Structure 1
Amino acid sequence: MPRRLLPLLLTALLCATLPAGAAAATSLTWYGHAAFKLVTPQGRVLLIDPWISNPANKNGKQDLAAIDKADLILVSHGHADHVGDAAEIAKRTGARLVSTFDLSNALVQFAGFPKDQAGMSTGGNFGGEISLLDGEVKVAFIPAVHGSTVTGMDKIPHTGGNPGGFLISIKNGPTIYHTGDTDVFGDMRLVPQFHKVDVMLACIGDHFTMGPQRAAEAVRLVHPKVVIPMHYGTFPVLTGTPEAFGQALKGSGAKLQVMQVDQTLKF
């Protein structure tokens, strides 16, 4: 066979293995605690509450060093275990900050987030939804019941506005609700009235957030297809467990998917 025909043959064989009309998947990686990476079908990278180097992640330093691409960094509220490594990653990758307007200002002023990577185009507030990355991603801002002080480089707590969560809709992919840190609250039932939720990332640790029983009630309000527990076990006080969550979820209709740190799922 002439060598010039070999690349054409390899391309034909590759295409033959793909189903007609097959689309790329959305991938979700958990780094422990409340930190996730979303990669869209077009390869855009979103990091949510990126405390990559948290104590639950034994490979945290390596995982953090390996992040060489990020388009958006979503931060739900100002506490250090959710702001995490956001400023470092932003400086390295040029990623833009997605957060409430007040939190965005606080992270720029006190936590070292690059000013030119934050602002009105990627900031919003509760009830609003913004279209990002050429329309491939939409983010709606969802309230949460928690706090949001930002402890800056000066070691002084500063107000970070109100805490929240995110409803992330991926074109040709899933709709994902990251609760941030919160208790269950009745208005969660409004979330699926505007967007059906495919995947809910629910805090279950107790002490600082809802525990397994209350998180299960939140799931019943939101009606996701799949629920993934987060924000548990990082510290001894976070006593909620996936096992207790699973028991409390019985009859909810949601599929419980327990992720391991550094595990990636595809949707």
Structure 2
Amino acid sequence: MKIKWFGHSCFMITSKQGTKILMDPYINMLGYKLPEIEAEIVATSHEHKDHNNIDAVKGNFVHINGLGIFSEHGIDIRGVDTFHDKFSGDKKGRNTIYNFKVDDINVCHCGDLGHILDTKQVEEIGKVDVLLVPVGGGYTIDATDAVEVVKQLKPTVIIPMHYRTKALGPMGLAFAKVDKFIEASGIKAQTYKDLELNKENIENYKGIAVLNYK
């Protein structure tokens, strides 16, 4: 599979069969800008406009925006109920974590997770090989809580998201930089343009994989 980051919490996974899964497309308000994009599956973690802009996506896609177990285009998907804050959703609402099984690798996208997981949520999410986790704080968990979520889910590869970058401009001041998470984790980090993973090579990428926004 290939994993590409479009900034914020938006990623594209392309399976070895060519199936494209897009996660949390945003409106062009953040400093990031989505290119023209097509996908077979679009998943949105919650209804905030910086995560649910499905109108930006071309093609005849399936929209996944709920809880439970789904199977689309040969991709198994599990949606698990969580919250956008530490107050059971009273401040910012609910959030769905998705675990996608692609090419026999489990990729977990945390959306705008706002809290450390409980035991039931960890069990529902299941096995995680690649974790896409917010680390910037402000609107989501911060670096310290993100480290705890990593410990809970035990992924091989950790890809941070939802943190301050130069592309964000003044809006970026609401988020911490990715360096804070790397330092708090004590895990080695490497930077990549994108990732191409399979069952044979995933151990070579063990640790934190910081993806460049282009």
Name the TM-score, length of structure 1 as normaliser: 0.63
| Per-residue deviation, 1:251 | 6.3
Contact 1:181 1:203 in 2 (8 A): yes
| Per-residue deviation, 1:191 | 3.1
Secondary structure of the 2:122 match is: helix
Superposed, 1:19-168 pairs within 5 Å as 26-51=1-26, 53=28, 55-57=30-32, 60=33, 63=35, 65=36, 67=37, 69-84=38-53, 86-89=54-57, 92-100=58-66, 125=67, 128-133=68-73, 136-146=74-84, 162-168=94-100
Identity %: 25
Which residue is 1:108 aligned to?
none
Contact 2:25 2:56 in 1 (8 A): no
| Per-residue deviation, 1:52 | 6.7
The answer to whether residue 160 in structure 2 is matched with residue 232 in structure 1 is: no
Q: Deviations over 1:59-114 (max 9, x none)?
A: x25x1x2x2x3101100000010013x1241xx311111011xxxxxxxxxxxxxx
CA distance in 1, matches of 2:82, 2:17: 30
Per mean C-alpha deviation after superposition, the further-off stretch among 231-240 and 203-212 is 231-240
Give the structure with the larger strand fraction: 2
Contact 2:100 2:108 in 1 (8 A): yes
The answer to whether residue 184 in structure 2 is matched with residue 248 in structure 1 is: yes
Contact 1:192 1:223 in 2 (8 A): no
| Per-residue deviation, 1:186 | 3.4
CA distance in 2, matches of 1:143, 1:48: 16
Contact 1:33 1:56 in 2 (8 A): no
Please identify the structure whose Cα radius of gyration is greater: 1
Per mean C-alpha deviation after superposition, the further-off stretch among 172-181 and 186-195 is 186-195
One of 143, 152, 172 as aligned partner of 1:221 = 152
| Per-residue deviation, 1:143 | 2.1
CA distance in 1, matches of 2:151, 2:59: 38
Evaluate the alpha carbon distance shift between residue 162 and residue 213 of structure 1 in structure 2; reply closer, same or farther with a 3 A threshold: closer
Gaps of 5+ in 1: 1-25, 101-124, 148-159, 263-267
Q: Structure 2: which amino acid aligns with 1:239?
A: F
Contact 1:189 1:222 in 2 (8 A): no
Secondary structure of the 1:77 match is: coil
RMSD: 2.5
Which residue is 2:110 aligned to?
179
Per mean C-alpha deviation after superposition, the further-off stretch among 191-200 and 172-181 is 191-200
CA distance in 2, matches of 1:70, 1:191: 28
Q: Structure 2: which amino acid aligns with 1:38?
A: I
Secondary structure of the 1:221 match is: helix
Contact 1:189 1:221 in 2 (8 A): no
Q: Structure 2: which amino acid aligns with 1:132?
A: E
Which residue is 1:16 aligned to?
none
Q: For this pair of structures, how many residues does the alignment match?
A: 186
